[in-house]
Amino acid sequence: MATISYAGYGVWNSTNDVTSKVSQQYANKQREFWANNGDYGDPAPGERKYLYIVWNSNGVDSGVVGEDDSRGIVLP
């Protein structure tokens, strides 16, 4: 089981803190995360956004995924 330290969604200086949302999704057994406006809002209309997650599971790990990427971030 991992602990979510921080999650952000956006680009440049237009980023939403989505730590609470990602933590809820993880607690509900979601293990793969995708960058999308539907889950995390649209802090930068017209720009390609990124979801980044920092977690602790026997050490600190992190991942990042952009909108339209073919793979998501997979947490343990």
Closest residue by Cα to residue 53 from 15, 9, 6: 6
| Domain containing residue 13 | 3-74
Tens of pLDDT, residue by residue over 11-62, are 999 999 999 999 999 999 999 999 999 999 999 999 999 999 999 998 999 9
pLDDT surpassing 90 at residue 3: yes
Q: d(Cα 16, Cα 25) in Å, to the nearest integer? A: 16
Amino acid at 18: V
Is 46 in a helix, a strand, or coil?
coil
Domains in the chain: how many in total? 1
| Distance set, CA 59 to CA 22, 29, 71, 75 (Å) | 19, 21, 23, 13
Give the model's confidence band at 1: pLDDT under 50 very low, under 70 low, under 90 confident, else very high. Answer: confident
Confidence class of residue 2 from pLDDT cuts 50, 70 and 90? very high
Determine the pLDDT at residue 23. Answer: 98
14 forms beta bridges with: 11
